């Protein structure tokens, strides 16, 4: 049902549109004004950067959002991650939980990492609760950490460790999805 496929040049127009949607940027750390030239440069940069991985989320044959791993640290075996579902009609269908579980599997089984980190704007209580339900624990709050439109926002830092995931995974069932190798 869901798939994660590598970002391609043909995705840039959609990504640019999605990234500037108010109901997406509301939950992001930035409010960008993007151009296609900026998107082309971004794709070139991430294609040559071993510290990040970017996918497009596909539901059946429709592209609906993105997932990324960032700050990939091969020495300390950790990374950060985030995602969004841009299409409002695709939200609230349980895709977030499916993505949470499959990214944990990917990070801990495929990459053999020890820690997966998420940073969420504190007012995004629904996502914080989802991450906790999926096994992440709050590690702290970065106070007044992000400034958007002259307002400072707190950021909640959550993480799950490999051992915690392996223990949590034994108690749940979830749909495994295809994640394209990058």
pTM of the model: 0.95
Domain containing 42 equals 2-179
Rg, the chain, Cα only? 16
Contact 99, 57 (CB under 8 A): yes
Split at pLDDT 50, 70, 90, the class of 1 is confident
- The total number of structural domains in the chain stands at 1
Beta bridge partners of 121: 155
Q: What CATH number did the domain enclosing 91 receive? A: 3.40.630.30
Quick: pLDDT tens for 122-158: 999 999 999 999 999 999 999 999 999 999 999 999 9
Q: How far is CA 56 from the centre of its chain?
A: 11
- Residue 151 phi/psi, 5-degree rounding, is -125, 135
Quick: pLDDT tens for 44-87: 999 999 999 999 999 999 999 999 999 999 999 999 999 999 98
What b/e readout covers 140-172, taking b as 16+ CB neighbours within 10 angstroms?
A: eeeeebbeeeeeebebbbbbbbbebbeebbeee
- As a whole number of angstroms, the distance between CA 106 and CA 150 comes to 37
């Amino acid at each position: 049902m869901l798939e994660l496929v590598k970002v391609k040049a043909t995705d840039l127009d959609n990504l640019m549109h999605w990234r500037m949607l108010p109901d997406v940027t509301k939950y992001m750390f930035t409010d960008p004004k993007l151009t296609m030239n900026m998107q082309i440069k971004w794709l070139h940069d991430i294609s040559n950067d071993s510290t990040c991985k970017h996918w497009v989320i596909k539901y059946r044959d429709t592209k609906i959002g993105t997932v990324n791993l960032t700050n990939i640290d091969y020495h300390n075996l950790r990374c950060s991650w985030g995602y969004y579902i841009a299409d409002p009609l695709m939200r609230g269908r349980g895709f977030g939980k499916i993505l949470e579980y499959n990214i944990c599997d990917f990070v801990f089984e495929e990459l053999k990492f020890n820690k997966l980190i998420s940073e969420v704007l504190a007012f995004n209580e629904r996502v914080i609760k989802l991450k906790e339900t999926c096994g992440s624990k709050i590690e702290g709050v970065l106070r007044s950490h992000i400034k958007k439109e002259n307002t400072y926002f707190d950021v909640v830092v959550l993480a799950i460790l490999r051992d915690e995931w392996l223990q949590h995974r034994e108690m749940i069932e979830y749909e495994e999805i295809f994640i394209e190798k990058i």
